Structure 1
Amino acid sequence: MQDCLPFGTALESCFLTLAAGATLGLALLAKTNAIVLPPVILIAVLIHGHVRPERQFALRLRHLAAASVLSLYVINLGYGAEGSFTRLGDYRFYSKAFTGDGMPGGQSRLHGPIWDQIPVPLPAAMLEGMDLQKVDFENPRGGIRTYLRGQWYDHSWWWYYLYVVAVKVPVGTWVLVIMGSVICARSLSPQRLEVSCFVVLPAVALFLPACLQTGFGAGIRYVMPAFPFIFLLAGAVFCIRSSKVIVAIGTLALILGPLASLRTYPHSLCYFNELGGGPQNGDFHLIDSNMEWGQNLMYVDEWVKSHADESPLYVAQWSFYPIENFGIRFTEPTIGKDEPIAPGTYLISVNYLRGNRDMRRMPLRRFLELVPDEKIAYTTYVYRIRQ
């Protein structure tokens, strides 16, 4: 009877359980690295329950189990339950993380008479996608290269994503996060325990796996699932007995962060903070999905149409969508290694301007020695060569 709750409280608890399960399922559908959340939440509940025993501890575990089951249902619903409950022994994996020391295309590292018979409650496409994503991250042959500060590498580093957020996240947000962390560290023991279990632990669990993937470094999107928890930590500036001075500084930082980002709008992907030199210098630090992902074709099209007298026009525009479909008439630049650059107007994407050898546009790097006449949406450099 100790686990019984009043009707209103029980109804609210059931609603929160359903909301948590549905939200967790949607999070896993949106980003598979949220797979770390169920065990992390369980660990957090166990730690919190051990340090602060409560009458409802067993009830909370039951609610957590119910939320996990509901999240599995939501995931299977999203995939149409295709291939769900396939036996583990029927899968073939290619990443070292899944196969261990086995050969690519082999069975799971847990291969055995008992393990092979276990039905996996996840859709087959989801598990296979996680395996193939892991193959990319392992990058065993160095085929996927990493750009950082003007250079290309065949590997990444554990601190790569720390550098990415250092130059991409607004300074005002950094001020809030640092202040919130200090306030939480100095708060009362019960508050500090709850923040550590249910805010800091999930944030670290979502951020750390990306840092451990040192095969190659990619976009900030791989660590963004940790941001909501980090924002909760920043919110401690306004929630935990702060002085008026702290609240005033936090309010100023809260205002300046979005304002700094709005200065780059609508080219938000190109945003870099003041420490990184702003979007005008962002391509020195990072390119690819941190800077240009083919999102500015319309702006290039508008520029070309408003400069119809520019001739000859040479365009090297990086995009998944063919720029020719916009009806733009241009010539693909062909520049030899030691040949002089022909007169004309050149529009060159930063991904080609700073491209690696795999892009086969290395001669275009010669334009880095020149000062561009202007930039289109921060990602396309305009050079007018007269002679």
Structure 2
Amino acid sequence: MRLADLRPNRCLGLVAVGLAFGVIHSALVEYVASIKSPLVDEPAHLVSGVCYLRTGSTFHYRVNPPLVRTLAAWPIFRSVENCDCVSYPALATLRSEFELGRDSFNANPQLWHSRLRSSRRVGILFSLIGLFVCSAWAYQLWGCQASVAAASLWCFQPMIIGWSATITPDVPAASTGVLACFAFWYWLEKDHLIRMIAAGVTLGIALLTKTTWITLLFLWPVLTILSGVFVGDRIKIRAKQSAGLVVILTLGLVILNGAYEWNSLGRPLRDFRFQSHRLQQVQQTVAERASLLEMIPMPLPENYIYGLDVQIKDFEAGKASYLCGERKEGGWWYYYAVVLLVKTPAGFLAIILLAVSMASVRRREMLANGEFERIAVAVILMTAMMLTFADGMSRHGRYGLIAAPWLIVWSCRIFATPSRRRTVAWAMLGLGVASTLSQYPHQISYFNYLIGGPRYGDRWLLDSNIDWGQDWYLVERWKSLNPEKRPLFLATSGPTTIQHSDFDASIRLMPRETSDGSLTLPAGYYAMSVNTLHGYPRERRGREYFANQTPIDRLGNSIRIFHLTVPIKIQ
């Protein structure tokens, strides 16, 4: 079914439904953005965007392209003071954006708190793109009910709501990636000039959102070849389609390089000094077996390539990770599968299982939508392979969000079946929506009820999956509602520190051990983050005592309040 085949009244009805879901989703994200405190990496993202707008430099936070942080920084970049973008050393191995972000945050605390909400609204824009594309693509493939279901799945997916309310590129990457592939699919369906330009422009936007989408430069030519094979052209691709693909890739690269101000474009591979072992191996292999290739100019900006190098090196280095109660240096290849199982509402998981069972017995339908199936499978497999092999660090389940649009659209096939399965699918969708709303607005730390909900989430995952500094404002509110509960000692994650609030002298940071190795915990109240309670990512004296105590209160899903009636001395 195509949009052109719709009767006017039905077309208007679909548009109205889409707009309704857009309004609901925007309201959900906006409220989360307004009540959550600055996350661990938000100052670094935002200040790096300020530096780009002021100097054009893409060095800071170059592991991610500049589009999202630049748009987020636009409302505040003229107001930020004491933001020295050029004094921090530009070394290939240094992540100076975190130091830069911390210093700027300390110099402008009131600005960050008052204007952060406006900067976070860029996430709503990108999330709406994902919502509308998933809905439109599901309609093109499976019809009206599938379109409504796709909009619902995106609108009420907890991780999408939570991370759309932040200045991070994960949801924007998912949205721009599915938008680019939708445009590419539309071009494959019919080779037309407008569709070709749309595919090239959206490719450039996706490349500017996250380096992950560099894979599209390799996937799209392969998918184009397969398109010719499956329509009967065998290996001989039509000349017009081949030329169109070249135009699409060229247009995408032009947009990417233009945003980087043509930063060292055309630098040959042999001139790069990589830090990651994998890219060093690639460089060495090319030099030994195909020396001519190492002299070919690279079509990507220098900082884009070095950003990818730094990201790979971070994964190779191995960092403290946590999964199902186990801590270790490095990660697990199945980490993101666990994230999917515990952080997706049970009803939504049931829809995926129903779609898998249906696809296994209705293979003709898959062949009928061959282009989509190949694109979806290619992207999902590519994502799975990258996340599986990046097992040097298992910390952030949000990295897997780039696969969310494909799972949503692919699963919506179940809503096109005139059978009991469709009725069950609608019931599961309602169950999933209810599960999401039951934990609103704490969507970053959402855990489904298959594992007991957020109360037991820290038994499965830590880090940004549950505690990324987002509940600091709840501590301030608790302090205001309980003025008699003093002194209050703090040990929380996130960039917000004690001097940035209107705390009085009875609010203190948690004591540290003395020179002789002893630690005395005074009587009073202690606000401790979940990560700190688990000694993650690094151990902290005193936390082991609280880990065995029952909190008197819980703030959000990431902070626990404890009460000591007498001092405790820990040797």
1:282 corresponds to which of 454, 457, 466: 457
Secondary structure of residue in 2 paired with 1:51 = helix
Relative to 1, partners in 2 of residues 1:245 and 1:304: Cα closer, same or farther, differing over 3 Å? same
Identity between Structure 1 and Structure 2 (%): 26
**Contact 1:48–1:197 (CA<8 Å) still a contact in 2?**
no
The answer to whether residue 353 in structure 2 is matched with residue 353 in structure 1 is: no
Aligned-residue CA RMSD in angstroms? 2.6
Match of residue 331 from structure 2? 156
Moved over 6 A (4+): 9-12
The C-alpha deviation readout for 1:72-109, integer Å capped at 9, x for no partner, is 122223322222222222211011110019xxxxx665
**Contact 1:343–1:384 (CA<8 Å) still a contact in 2?**
yes
**Contact 1:49–1:57 (CA<8 Å) still a contact in 2?**
yes
Match of residue 141 from structure 2? none
Taking structure 2 as the reference length, what is the TM-score of the superposition? 0.60
Stretch of structure 1 that moved more, 152-161 or 255-264: 255-264
1:131, distance to aligned residue in structure 2 (A) = 0.3
Relative to 1, partners in 2 of residues 1:117 and 1:148: Cα closer, same or farther, differing over 3 Å? same
5 Å matches for 1:1-387?
13-53=192-232, 57-58=237-238, 59-100=240-281, 109-111=285-287, 113-139=291-317, 142=318, 144-187=319-362, 188=364, 190-191=367-368, 193-239=370-416, 242-329=417-504, 330-334=507-511, 341-356=521-536, 359-387=538-566
**Contact 1:156–1:214 (CA<8 Å) still a contact in 2?**
yes
Q: Report the Cα distance in structure 2 between the residues aligned to 1:290 and 1:61, rounded to whole angstroms.
A: 43
Secondary structure of residue in 2 paired with 1:63 = helix
Q: Report the Cα distance in structure 2 between the residues aligned to 1:57 and 1:254, rounded to whole angstroms.
A: 42
The C-alpha deviation readout for 1:159-198, integer Å capped at 9, x for no partner, is 1111111111121221222222232333316226444312
Q: Report the Cα distance in structure 1 between the residues aligned to 2:546 and 2:242, rounded to whole angstroms.
A: 61
1:331, distance to aligned residue in structure 2 (A) = 1.8
**Contact 1:181–1:234 (CA<8 Å) still a contact in 2?**
yes
The gaps in structure 2 that reach 5 residues or longer are 1-187, 567-571
1:129, distance to aligned residue in structure 2 (A) = 0.7
**Contact 2:491–2:509 (CA<8 Å) still a contact in 1?**
yes
**Contact 1:168–1:276 (CA<8 Å) still a contact in 2?**
no
More relative contact order in 1 or in 2 (CA 8 Å, sep 6+)? 2
1:295, distance to aligned residue in structure 2 (A) = 1.7
The gaps in structure 1 that reach 5 residues or longer are 1-8, 102-106
**Contact 1:92–1:108 (CA<8 Å) still a contact in 2?**
no
Relative to 1, partners in 2 of residues 1:154 and 1:234: Cα closer, same or farther, differing over 3 Å? same
Secondary structure of residue in 2 paired with 1:327 = coil
Q: Give 2:397's aligned amino acid.
A: I
1:288, distance to aligned residue in structure 2 (A) = 1.0
Match of residue 5 from structure 1? none
Q: Give 1:45's aligned amino acid.
A: T
Match of residue 6 from structure 1? none
**Contact 1:40–1:205 (CA<8 Å) still a contact in 2?**
no
Stretch of structure 1 that moved more, 175-184 or 58-67: 58-67
Match of residue 4 from structure 2? none
1:303, distance to aligned residue in structure 2 (A) = 1.4
Q: Give 2:244's aligned amino acid.
A: H
Q: Report the Cα distance in structure 1 between the residues aligned to 2:520 and 2:190, rounded to whole angstroms.
A: 76
Q: Report the Cα distance in structure 2 between the residues aligned to 1:217 and 1:233, rounded to whole angstroms.
A: 26
1:276, distance to aligned residue in structure 2 (A) = 2.8
Q: Which has the higher helix share?
A: 2
1:215, distance to aligned residue in structure 2 (A) = 1.0
1:250, distance to aligned residue in structure 2 (A) = 1.5
Secondary structure of residue in 2 paired with 1:275 = coil
Q: Give 2:295's aligned amino acid.
A: Q
Q: Give 1:279's aligned amino acid.
A: P
Secondary structure of residue in 2 paired with 1:331 = strand
What number of residue pairs does the alignment pair up?
A: 368
**Contact 2:276–2:316 (CA<8 Å) still a contact in 1?**
yes
